[in-house]
Amino acid sequence: MGNKKLSRKGFLKNLAGVAAKEPEVLSDVPPTEPDPLFKKYARKSLGPRRYSQQIEVPNPGGPGPETTARVGNVTSGLNPYAGPLTVWDAAHLLRRVGFGVKKSDLDAVMALTPSAAVDSFLVVNAPSNPSPTPVNHYNNSAVDSSGVVLGNSWTTTNLSYATGSNDGTVNSHRQNSLIAWSWGLCLNENTTIREKMTLFWYHFIPVNFDDVRGMQNNSSTMCHDYMALLRANALGNFKTLIKAIAKSPAMLVYLSNQYSTASVPNENFARELMELFTLGKVPTQNYTEPDIIAASKVFSGWRVPSFVAAYPFNPGFNSAYHNQTNKVFSQFFGPNPTNTIVNQAGAAGANEFDIFFDMLFTQQQDTIAKYICRRLYRFFVYYDIDANVEANVIVPLANFLVTSNWEMGPVVAKLLKSEHFYDMANKGVMIKSPIDLIAGLIRTFNVNTTAVATTNPQVVNQYAIWQYFQSYALNNMEQGYGLVPNVSGWKAYYQEPMFYQNWINSYSIQKRASLLTAFISGFPTGGLTIKIDAVTFVQQWPNATVQDPDLLIDVLIQYMLPIDLPAQYKTDTKVQTLLAGQVTNNYWTTAWNNYIANPTTANLNTVKTRLNSLLTTLLQLAEFQLM
Summarize pLDDT for 531-556 with one digit per residue, the tens: 999 999 999 999 999 999 999 999 99
Q: Beta strand pairing status for 25-27 and 523-525?
A: unpaired
**Cβ-based neighbour number of residue 193 at 10 Å:** 25
Average pLDDT over residues 72-101: 94
pLDDT value at 22 more than 90? no
274-333 pLDDT, tens digit per residue, is 999 999 998 899 999 999 999 999 999 999 999 999 999 999 999 999 999 999 999 999
What is the average per-residue pLDDT within 500-507? 94
Residue 189's pLDDT is 86
**Rounded to whole angstroms, how far apart are CA atoms 549 and 314?**
62
What pLDDT is attached to residue 26? 28
Report d(CA 544, CA 555) in Å as an integer.
Answer: 12
How many CB atoms sit inside 10 A of residue 355's CB?
A: 14
More confident residue, 42 or 443: 443
Inter-CA distances, 134 with 21, 129, 221, Å: 47, 11, 11
578-600 per-position pLDDT tens digit: 999 999 999 999 999 999 999 99
Is 545 or 54 the better-scoring residue by pLDDT? 545
Answer for the pair 368, 279: CB distance below 8 angstroms, yes or no: yes
For range 353-373, the mean pLDDT: 98
Q: What is the 3-state secondary structure (H, E, C) of 58-103?
A: CCCCCCCCCCCCCCCCCCCCCCECCCCCCHHHHHHHHHHHCCCCCH
Given a contact cutoff of 8 angstroms between Cβ atoms, the answer to whether 364 and 333 are in contact is yes
What pLDDT was estimated at residue 36? 40
Q: Residue type for 134, please?
A: P
* Predicted confidence (pLDDT) per residue in 221-279, tens digit: 999 999 999 999 999 999 999 999 999 999 999 999 999 999 999 999 999 999 999 99
How would you classify the pairing of strands 25-27 and 5-6? Answer: antiparallel
The residue ranges of every structural domain in the chain are 1-72, 535-625
97: pLDDT strictly greater than 80: yes
pLDDT of residue 581: 94
* Tens digits of residue pLDDT in 418-456: 999 999 999 999 999 999 999 999 999 999 999 999 989
Summarize the confidence of residues 567-587 as an average pLDDT: 96
What pLDDT score does 72 carry? 58
Using alpha carbons, select from 181, 201, 177 the residue that is nearest to residue 128.
Answer: 181
pTM value is: 0.89
Has residue 64 got a pLDDT over 60? Answer: no
Average pLDDT, the chain: 89
Dihedral of the CA atoms 574, 579, 582, 583 (nearest 10)?
-50
Question: Of 28-32, 136-140, 544-548, 612-616, which gets the smallest average pLDDT?
Answer: 28-32
What are the b/e assignments for 108-131, b being 16+ CB within 10 Å? Answer: bbeeeebeebbebbbebeebeebb
Please tell me the least confidently modeled range out of 52-61, 151-160, 168-177, 575-584.
52-61
Confidence of residue 29 (pLDDT cuts 50, 70, 90): very low
Q: Which helix (H) or strand (E) holds 111?
A: none
Average pLDDT over residues 595-610: 97
User: Are 213 and 172 a contacting pair, CB within 8 Å?
Assistant: yes
Helix (H), strand (E) at residue 129: none
* pLDDT reading at 525 higher than 70: yes
* Res. 60: pLDDT tops 70: no
The phi-psi region of residue 526 (left if phi > 0; otherwise alpha if psi is between -120 and 50; otherwise beta) is left
Q: According to the model, what pLDDT value does residue 76 have? A: 94
Do the strands 528-530 and 523-525 form a parallel or antiparallel pair, or are they unpaired?
antiparallel
- Give residues with Cβ within 8 angstroms of 282, minimum separation 6: none
pLDDT of residue 163: 67
Instruction: Check whether 159 has a pLDDT greater than 50.
Output: yes
Least confident of 160-174, 355-369, 534-548: 160-174
Between CA 490 and CA 499 the distance in angstroms is 9
Say how far apart CA 435 and CA 616 lie, in whole Å: 20
**Measured CA distances, 372 to 101, 398, 474, 537 (Å):** 28, 8, 27, 40
pLDDT of residue 141: 64
Confirm if 416 and 118 have CB atoms less than 8 A apart: yes
